[in-house]
Amino acid sequence: MTEPLRVLVHGASGRMGRALLRLAGERDDLVVVAAAGRSPSADAPDLARTPAAPYLAAADLTDAPPFQVAIDFSLPAGFDAVLGLCQQRGVALVSGTTGLQPAQHAALDRAAADIPVLWSANFSLGIAILSELVERAAAALRGWDCDIVEAHHTRKLDAPSGTALALGALAEQGGAQPRYASVRAGDIVGEHLVQFATAGERIELVHRATDRDIFARGALHAAASLAGRPAGAYRLRDLF
């Protein structure tokens, strides 16, 4: 039997991190060997259930035991440290952290010369399909207005969402000039509307996420597929 893949979860005390730890525990092809966050967590024992999977505060990240892939759903302030650790250890990085600065995306691109990396603003299969529809619509509907409206829970920090910006970039490639609007309300997990409008008609493409487990499942699948590949910048569609 092959050994389970050794995974570090970064941002483990957050909404996504907790979903990752729970869903990782349901798989036998990977094992979480360390969970990490910004501060020492009051309920760390819940997060790392055995002494073999310690909970690490940001200051202790470099003490992480050996791992083969890191899954990072933290915040931009935590991203550089986990990227640096993966480069130092020569292991893969899957990141879903949004709101990264251009310099952080550039650092990720540089790291791809040495390690396999995958960053995606959205790990759901539905958004992967929506992306293809947006590309097609934008290329076919030259001159139409393009508006992207995204809605998320009130604790989301970045706006527009990383997914809205990624959809907008695809629309731009097709010739559209997207405008953005953001709604922050209640506990909305994530909704994206891409609208193309012209005189007399309108197309609305909508994706609604109702459970953040879809993102965590996609990230775990990506991690299992990415570890052990040659260095490079991978896209989700390369791995699904």
Ligand X SMILES: NC(=O)c1ccc[n+]([C@@H]2O[C@H](COP(=O)([O-])OP(=O)(O)OC[C@H]3O[C@@H](n4cnc5c(N)ncnc54)[C@H](OP(=O)(O)O)[C@@H]3O)[C@@H](O)[C@H]2O)c1
Report the site for ligand X in 81-110 (rule: CB under 6 A).
96-99
Among residues 10, 152, 192, 207, the one annotated as catalytic is: 152
Q: What tokens were used for 199?
A: 């005189």
In the complex with ligand X, which residue's Cβ is closer, 86 or 121?
121
Burial 84-112 (b: 16+ CB within 10 A, else e): ebbbebebbbbbbbbbbeeebeebbeebb
159 binds ligand X (CB under 6 A): no
Measured from the CB of residue 38, what is the shortest distance to ligand X in angstroms? 3
The smaller minimum CB distance to ligand X, of residues 53 and 141, is found at 53
- Our CB check for ligand X shows the closer of 72 and 147 to be 72
Is residue 55 near ligand X by the rule CB under 6 A? Answer: no
CB 64, min distance to ligand X, A = 12
Q: Is 207 a catalytic residue?
A: no
Q: Which run of H or of E encompasses 209?
A: strand 201-209
> What count of Cα atoms within 13 Å lies in the side-chain half-sphere of residue 17?
24
> What gap in Å lies between CA 227 and CA 21, rounded to an integer?
18
| Shortest Cβ 217–ligand X spacing (Å) | 10
131 part of the interface to ligand X, by CB under 6 A: no
Which position has the token pair 């819940």? 46
Among 7, 8, 11, 53, binds ligand X (CB under 6 A): 11
> Tokens 């997207």 map to which residue?
178
Q: How far apart are CA 152 and CA 69, in angstroms?
A: 29
Q: Does 75 bind ligand X (CB under 6 A)?
A: yes
The full length of the chain comes to 240
Q: Is residue 193 a contact partner of residue 209, using CB atoms and an 8 Å limit? A: no
Write out the residues near ligand X by the rule CB under 6 A. 11-17, 37-39, 41, 58, 73-75, 77-78, 96-99, 120-123, 212, 215
Question: Among all residues, which ones are annotated catalytic?
Answer: 152, 156
